[in-house]
Amino acid sequence: MDILKFPLSFDNDGSISKLRQNSDGYFKQLISFCILTEPASLPLTPDFGVYDPTFSKVSPEKLALSASKFIPEVQIQSLGGTISSDDGTISVKFIYNR
């Protein structure tokens, strides 16, 4: 099933942009949601997500465990991140296999 592209945007025909199921963008968005979601913040799936990495690094093991449970089509191979000294933005990079 296709999913809505986040942030929400519109195609040229006025319809909401979607990501095709099993495309790279589809899996990147699902893994990104896993990184951005704090465990216990979703009542129906309290185990989904990883803890806030503000004061520590994202745990590759916890991300791989959460991804394997909720996104079984992918396997996290590596995870890394950088913080920009200019504006403080955090960039998380991950490599996965399907």
Report how far residue 16's alpha carbon sits from residue 11's, in angstroms, rounded to the nearest whole number. Answer: 6
Closest CA to 71 of 34, 25, 44: 34
pTM of the complete model beyond 0.85: no
Give pLDDT, residue 12: 94
Residue ranges of the chain whose pLDDT lies below 50? none
If one counts the domains in the chain, the total is 1
Please state, as a whole number, how many other Cβ atoms lie within 10 Å of the Cβ of residue 5: 16
Tokens of 74: 């992918």
Its domain, for residue 66, covers 3-97
Report how far residue 25's alpha carbon sits from residue 27's, in angstroms, rounded to the nearest whole number. Answer: 6
Give pLDDT, residue 55: 67
pLDDT tens readout for residues 22-35: 898 998 888 888 88
